[in-house]
Structure 1
Amino acid sequence: MTGDHYFTAEPSTPAQAREVQFSVAGRDYALASAGGVFSATRLDPGTAVLLRKAELPTSADGPLLDLGSGFGPIACVLASVTPEATVWAVDVNERARELTAGNAQRLGVADRVRVAAPEDVPADLEFAQIWSNPPIRIGKEDLHQLLGRWLPRLAPGGVAWLVVARHLGGDSLHRWLVDQGWQVERHASQKGFRVLRITR
């Protein structure tokens, strides 16, 4: 075992290329994945619930953000279902960013998917929507810092969609977000996951 986590900037775990197949909204996807990134061998169950239960955009009033992109399933779906949207795929993990860029290329949406490390996103950029299966395992304090950094970048009228496992603190995160002044609706629950819809 190594000390690598999916939130390691430069994973040392062998890449071990894989393909992950899944379907969303009637479309089949086959994306490249590799060791050292989040949920390297399958579409994460929480991400699957998020993509199935949240309201996928059909048009975009501004850029969309996939926060913690992993190998890019959310970014690739958002770019596929919203043909005019620019999607920012942000991850601290260099291998994850490389995979996301390659998968966007594979799907023919690379011209609209901007893959970036967090520090490379323009400071004044606001997002019409933020989508995330946030990295709960970084710890509550770091998670709160992460969301406190990115949720305020929602444009006026924007919406954020988060998925969190109930047993990993989905309900306490809901309460914390409300305490921070956000409007939070439990949009759906499935397979032990909460899908939260967040607005100003």
Structure 2
Amino acid sequence: MTEYYYSQNPTADHQEYHFDFELLQQTFHFTTDNGVFCKHTIDFGSRTLIEATVKTDFPSGSLLDVGCGYGPIGLALAHHFPNRQVTMTDVNERALKLAQKNAADNQIKNVSIFASDGFKQISGDFAGIYTNPPIRAGKAVVSQILTDAKDHLVPGGKLLAVLQKKQGAPSAKKLMTAVYGNCEVLSKDGGYYILQSVKND
């Protein structure tokens, strides 16, 4: 069986990797491992999503990172928004342990990191939800994340998602428009689209 980063308990042999990376003018130290997404660097999609998110005008409240992996997006945003609580979730237990370690190593305390399959273990409403969704988990999984986010946003809250054009960004835009009544392409860069929908009701 082929094992991907969205497995709950990856069985790949541990082989930790350490690197420093600058995000939003701050250098972070990351520990990663086999069995997690993008082990050796911060992928371009995540970097593009981070840059778009910090330019977004959210209402007051907490932020949610769905599919946080070992934590680069959530930790960069938690550092950038020290007065907001950032919740970070993933289905991959190995990735979550790394995210917790990376939060501690970078002295970021305004985060809550725990396991959730999509939104199943998530309660409460958020000012912003952002995701670099697990494309290899399949279109149904990605569509579920984009759709279910609406029930966890405050009025005026915003969902941001990064997808490559070749991996379904146009169809995701159609879905988000149907669910939220709106969807804006905030940026296009290197084939990656940053999509944003606002909960208006």
**Normalising to structure 1: TM-score of the pair?**
0.91
Q: Determine which of 96, 109, 112 is the counterpart of 1:114.
A: 112
- Deviation, 1:21, is 2.8
**Contact preservation (8 Å) 1:100, 1:115:** yes
Instruction: State whether structure 2 residue 16 is matched by structure 1 residue 17.
Output: yes
Among all aligned residue pairs of Structure 1 and Structure 2, give the percentage whose two residues are the same amino acid.
Answer: 28
RMSD, aligned α-carbons: 1.9
Q: Which runs of 5+ in 2 are unaligned?
A: none
Evaluate the alpha carbon distance shift between residue 83 and residue 31 of structure 1 in structure 2; reply closer, same or farther with a 3 A threshold: same
Evaluate the alpha carbon distance shift between residue 56 and residue 102 of structure 1 in structure 2; reply closer, same or farther with a 3 A threshold: farther
1:74 counterpart letter in structure 2:
I
SS at 1:76's partner residue? helix
The alignment covers a number of residue pairs equal to 197
**Contact preservation (8 Å) 2:8, 2:92:** yes
Match of 2:189 in 1: 190
- Between the aligned partners of 1:7 and 1:193, the Cα distance in structure 2 is 21
**Contact preservation (8 Å) 1:59, 1:85:** no
Evaluate the alpha carbon distance shift between residue 157 and residue 51 of structure 1 in structure 2; reply closer, same or farther with a 3 A threshold: same
Evaluate the alpha carbon distance shift between residue 73 and residue 95 of structure 1 in structure 2; reply closer, same or farther with a 3 A threshold: same
Evaluate the alpha carbon distance shift between residue 69 and residue 38 of structure 1 in structure 2; reply closer, same or farther with a 3 A threshold: same
Evaluate the alpha carbon distance shift between residue 157 and residue 86 of structure 1 in structure 2; reply closer, same or farther with a 3 A threshold: same
- Between the aligned partners of 1:107 and 1:61, the Cα distance in structure 2 is 25
- Deviation, 1:101, is 0.6
Match of 1:164 in 2: 163
Evaluate the alpha carbon distance shift between residue 196 and residue 59 of structure 1 in structure 2; reply closer, same or farther with a 3 A threshold: closer
- Between the aligned partners of 1:108 and 1:187, the Cα distance in structure 2 is 31
- Deviation, 1:56, is 4.5
SS at 1:180's partner residue? helix
Match of 1:144 in 2: 143
Evaluate the alpha carbon distance shift between residue 56 and residue 99 of structure 1 in structure 2; reply closer, same or farther with a 3 A threshold: farther
Evaluate the alpha carbon distance shift between residue 184 and residue 57 of structure 1 in structure 2; reply closer, same or farther with a 3 A threshold: closer
